[in-house]
Chains A and B, each alone.
Chain A
Amino acid sequence: MSSVTKAAAAPGGGARPTRRAVALTTSLLVVFLLYSLAPTWFLLVASTKNQTDLYSTFGLWFSSNHLADNFQAVWSYHDGVFGRWIWNSVLYSTVGAAGSTLISLAAGYGLAKFAFRGRGALFAVIVGASLLPSTLLAFPLYLVFAKIGLTNTVWAVLIPYFINPFGVYLGKVYADSSVPNELMEAARIDGAGEARIFVSVALRLMSTGGITIFMLDFINIWNNFFLPLFMLNGERTFPVTLGLFSWVQQAQASRDMNTLVLSGSLLSIIPLAVFMFALQRYWRSGILMGSLK
């Protein structure tokens, strides 16, 4: 879809403008390009420096290269706690997003295809809940989870990640648009049970929607800082966002931590960037779906 309109946009857009207009357009774009890239460039450069160079040399250019030492220091700090954080982030994001996608698709399918009592009211509640930012509930959630002794376990973050009203909304949209009633009817006549129809017919038809929900969830969970901050106490359960924050706090006491913070930040970007690059086909449309929120 987007590639078609993009191709169409090219000849119309590039046809007429004067040379001065092109120069102005390009230079404005370049200014914002530099603005967007400069901080990341700084991070890249800073990750190659040792403690003294970090403060004594110009921040946007290299001095002697200590990248390997810095990475080494990041990995070995506190018995490899950083690796553990990355692993936790991968675990929370993958399991959290997978669980939430399945629950959302099932609920969306149920809402779209079955006329049960209270369906309209339930859907209204879901739309309403999806308008509210999840951070709002973090503290009330903490109170409940602390009461039942779930805080500081993986479940304290996973269970809230599983429940995503916006995912259910998307699931219903996808079920409405991609699962034909006739097909379900035909499967029923063939004697398939409802669970079987959902698993082998509906889920397959909704797979594109499922990937989009998974991806939006994955990105949100990877970036989440708030919920883990409330729920998790022990360093070994942190996701990488929270781990980096704990290093920033320690850096207040000792400046040596700063090289760790910088190199760790650089390393933490990589998994999400790889993930988004791999799924870029989906997240273009996913972003737009997400924006409808």
Chain B
Amino acid sequence: MSTLTRPPRVATDSPVRRTSARRTGKRGAYKGVLFTLPFLIGFLATYVAPIAYAFSESLHEKKSSGIGFGPTKVVYTGFSNFAAIFADGTFWTGMLRTLLFGAAQIVVMLGISLLLALLLDGVAARAVRFFRAALLVPYVIPAVVSTLMWLFLYSPTASPILDVADRAGAHFDFFGGLNTYLSLGNVLTWQGIGFNMILISASLQALPRELYEAARLDGAREWRIAWSVKVPNITGILVLTGMFSLIGRLQLFAEPLFLRYVAPESINTDFTPMMEIFDRAFKAGDYQYAAAESLVLAVVTGLLAFVFYRVTNRKMS
């Protein structure tokens, strides 16, 4: 009897599944795959294949046959490139430099963006539109062009800033030691504050007004409301934005590459991991080592993204 009751249970089960399958259609299911097919093929070609190929390249090394003369040939060397990278001080210094510098720069940038968003939250609507448009100008300018503008503003021969400083009898250099980081950070901050201000503004506007109307009625000052009510309520988006900016910063490349043209002594070719990879591949011609470096950087970035994903997901739920 019990063996007879079991099949009906399965039978009542399956029609439900069948109707849900019919809703999207059984033939529909494979058509769904067809819709994603162009992307899938492209994804295999531009994500999976390059990583696989770079990995196989990274297991090889270029060795010259003979005693340093003669044609070079590529031979399989296992994980020796990776072993070399793990012992490669300049690569990790570049990584650490980029991370620390990026973290500091992002804190400053988001701080300014937050300040601007809070200020805009407190002025009349017509003024908001004007300031917002003007502060967004840097966002409209391609990063390459804005870096070029700062390149000239920093250059010892053309800079109007140095011109004014000279006349005032002050002498300083935009590069060397800490100044290199300040100058580079300034370019990145200039590029980013308007955009981040808009993000923060949007989340400020999404806050329910009751949240701070009460405090206002109690006679709290605006800056006090901003600091104790508004800011704590948007830390989520600040943390999220900061994290993603940091993932992006780890790939820092174009800005230091350009600034190198006015400050070759202060910004080396291995200043950031990406610059090192570029230099290794196209100046030194060592594709295999550069491939290994790319993969190591990808893994570090992936780990960073994963940790952030975990942290933010926990925070959200």
B131/A262 in contact, CB under 8 A: no
For A17, A115, A143, which residue has the most chain B Cβ atoms within 10 angstroms?
A: A143
Given that A21-B222, A114-B32, A272-B142 are contacting pairs, would A2 and B202 also be in contact in the complex, using a CB cutoff of 8 Å? yes
Q: Which of B50, B122, B160 contacts A25 (CB 8 A)?
A: B122
Are B34 and A223 in contact, with the CB atoms below 8 A?
A: no
Cβ proximity bits A258-270 to B, threshold 8 Å, 1 near / 0 not: 1001100100110
* Stretch in A39-47, A64-72, A74-82 with 4+ CB within 8 Å of B: A39-47
Residue interface mask A120-153, B partner, CB < 8 A = 1: 0010000011011101110111111001000000
- Report which of A28, A46, A116, A147 forms a contact with B32, defined as CB distance below 8 A: A116
Check A215 for interface membership: any CB of B closer than 8 A: no
Question: Cβ of A140 and Cβ of B209 under 8 Å apart?
Answer: no
Answer whether A54 and B301 are a contact pair too, CB < 8 Å, given A43-B149, A114-B35, A133-B248: no
Task: Contact check, B35 vs A131: say whether CB atoms are below 8 A apart.
Answer: no
How far apart sit A273 and B146, CA to CA, in the bound complex (Å)? Answer: 14
What 1/0 mask marks residues of chain A from 150 to 176 whose CB sits below 8 Å from any chain B CB? 000000000110110100100000000
For A29, list chain B residues within 8 Å (CB).
116, 119-120, 123, 127, 131
> How many residues from B make CB contacts under 8 Å with A?
102
Query: B57 near A: Cβ within 8 Å?
Result: yes
Tell yes or no: B100 within 8 A of A by CB: no
Residues of A within 8 A of B151 (CB): 248
For residue A110, CB closer than 8 A to chain B, the reply is yes
Report how far A76 CA is from B304 CA in the complex, Å.
Answer: 47
CB distance from A91 to the nearest CB of B (A): 16
Establish whether residues B134 and A39, one from each chain, have CB atoms under 8 Å apart when the complex forms: no
Q: How far is A14 from B50 in the complex, measured between Cα atoms in Å? A: 55
Interface pick from B36-44, B77-85, B101-109: B36-44
Among candidates A9, A117, A135, A261, residue contacting B253 with C-beta atoms closer than 8 Å = A135
Name which residue of chain B comes closest to A223, CB basis. Answer: B142
A168 touches B39 (CB 8 A): yes
Interchain CB contact (< 8 A) of B135 among A26, A32, A144? A32
Q: Report if B59 contacts A (CB, 8 A).
A: no
Known: A55-B158, A144-B49. A273 touches B140 (CB 8 A): yes
A140 to B119, CA, bound (A): 45
Bound-complex Cα distance A39 to B198 (A):
21
Contact status B163-A58, CB under 8 Å: yes
Could you list 20 further interchain pairs (A-B, Cβ under 8 angstroms) beyond the known A54-B158, A128-B305, A160-B46? A5-B205, A10-B128, A12-B216, A29-B116, A33-B131, A113-B32, A114-B24, A133-B248, A137-B51, A139-B294, A140-B53, A143-B54, A143-B291, A144-B49, A163-B43, A194-B31, A241-B142, A262-B148, A269-B141, A269-B142
Chain A residues near B (Cβ < 8 Å): 2, 5-10, 12-14, 16-17, 21-22, 25-26, 28-29, 32-33, 35-37, 39-40, 42-43, 46, 54-55, 58-60, 103-104, 106-107, 109-111, 113-117, 119, 122, 128-129, 131-133, 135-137, 139-144, 147, 159-160, 162-163, 165, 168, 181, 185, 188, 194, 198, 222-223, 225-226, 229-230, 241, 244-245, 248-249, 251-252, 258, 261-262, 265, 268-269, 272-273, 276, 284, 287-288, 291, 293
Top 5 A-B pairs ranked by shortest CB distance?
A114-B32, A59-B160, A110-B35, A140-B50, A140-B54
